[in-house]
Structure 1
């Protein structure tokens, strides 16, 4: 690698450290490492609470990333012409993540609005016959949400494959900030995959296993243990109870449906708030990098 043209190496070698990017011992990069490790460790479960926790961790991560991007030496590294291709890849990746966030936000909003509308209809208790059309509209809306979410998931998996194949030069000083941003991008991709999968629900389940889940929730033949409740997908549970209501035609299950819809709405609200907060931080990071390039 030709290093003579690098603005980071104009000083004598004895002063190289003072002109380099923050080392791994720097407080900011240490904070980023801690957040990255915390996110990697938490990506083993996909409940609403665990995803909400991951979104909160992403907010903390990007707060630290923002502090990193404010450092003059980090900005100097990103502005180097020889790093332009890597920085442009970062910008392409952030744009993809913003698009996926938008899809997830739309999916949550659409599901929330349909849930609230259905709850209003259920409170009027017009009978199962009167509910049939509204429930079918809700389930049709959920089908459209699944389709959009599945498409976004495919894009994320493609992006994940590209990130796993990324390589860097051996010059840790000049690309350390880019490597850190790539790592942040990778864990963000993982969290958004969990979120979209949660919104989509376990579509891969067979019909028999899905109706087994419905039976468990509707008839409540046994008490669900706390661990199983924590693993439950509140959105899918609401979908399942609605299918069961239409199939059974029995109004005595309306209270169960109302409870599941309420749980789903609360879950969606929490996820939406976490996603919105992270979304704003992701935009800020992208704008900062663009400003660095345009200086």
Structure 2
């Protein structure tokens, strides 16, 4: 946030649209700047999910500072529309729920990976029971997929929702605040949706993989792999090779890919936890403003 004090816009008596003004309100300029940084990060193909989540934490820390400003608290306390208040509160609660679900998914996903790692470290490639352990891993991942895909569908539904109530009687500062919070929720949903896609077990691969290794057929040779697999897909490919060959080399490769996936999940967990704490703080500040 800029260190200089933020001034209120003079109250206008003209008819106002629900849409955002072409220029951001001085009251919301700090949030707009953080949003622009995060949008740029979203557009950059080289930006990792950890980097985007870190940017999301910065955004919500800025939102929290913004919501605690006396001018913001005063504007929120003067909000007249019950529908508008409900939208702001519901939006805040939805992103908090999505973040909390993400924490649970990552925790369960890491547990599944650690269980399989433990099994692979105890057993040699051709030892009995290894196939059952891999199948159990796939079953657990499929259950997590259901949660992940439900979250994605819920996020898509939220994106399609249209606001039908009017802000014509609201102070311009309230219109600016609500507009900024909508933008914050929108980019939050976008980042979590992208994250869900990256951690989900590919539907088209998971059960075809189980079928292939149970039929003892090689999926593809290492030399034929031309796609840039993500961490989950690399684990799939490594487990498929292991179940077909049960060689020490493929056992070591499976261990390596699982360990890398475990590290990736751990990094995401740390960042999501930071986002969650920032979300809690900003929601408390929002409630204080509305109840001021």
For the superposition of Structure 1 and Structure 2, which TM-score range results when normalised by the shorter chain?
A: 0.7 to 0.9
- Residue 80 of structure 2 aligns to a residue whose secondary structure is helix
The match for 1:155 is: 154
What is aligned with 1:281?
Answer: 278
Relative CO higher for 1 or 2, CA cutoff 8 Å, sep ≥ 6? 2
Partner of residue 99, structure 1:
97
Aligned residue pairs total 266
SS of equivalent residue, structure 1 residue 221 = helix
Partners of 1:180 and 1:141 in 2: how far apart?
39
- Pairwise CA distance, 1:168: 5.3
Query: Please, what TM-score do these two structures have when normalized by structure 1?
Result: 0.78
Partner of 1:181: 181
1:1-295 pair list within 5 angstroms: 24=24, 26=26, 29-44=28-43, 50-128=48-126, 129-162=128-161, 169=168, 172-203=172-203, 219-221=221-223, 232-295=229-292
- The 3 A distance-change label for structure 1 pair 46 and 107 is farther
Given that residues 34 and 58 in structure 2 are in contact (C-alpha distance below 8 angstroms), is that contact kept between their aligned partners in structure 1?
Answer: yes
Output the CA distance in 1 between the equivalents of 2:39 and 2:204: 25
Write the distance in 2 (CA, Å) between the matches of 1:237 and 1:91. Answer: 40
Contact kept in structure 2, 1:97 and 1:189, CA below 8 Å: yes
CA RMSD of aligned residues (A): 3.2
Kept after mapping to 2: 8 A contact 1:46/1:198:
no
Which runs of 5 or more residues in structure 1 are unaligned? 1-7, 14-22
Distance (whole Å) between structure 2 residues aligned to residue 165 and residue 45 of structure 1: 34
The C-alpha deviation readout for 1:186-217, integer Å capped at 9, x for no partner, is: 10000010111112144357969xx9xx966x
Secondary structure of the residue aligned to 2:223 is: coil
TM-score by length of 2: 0.79
Gaps of 5+ in 2: 1-7, 14-22, 213-217
Q: Distance in 1 between matches of 2:230 and 2:246?
A: 24
Query: Does structure 2 conserve the Cα–Cα contact (< 8 Å) formed by 1:107 and 1:199?
Result: no
CA 195–164 in structure 1, closer or farther in 2 if over 3 Å, else same = farther
Distance in structure 2 (CA, Å) of the matches to 1:53 and 1:185: 18
Give the secondary structure class of the aligned counterpart of 1:39. Answer: helix
Shift of 1:163: 6.0
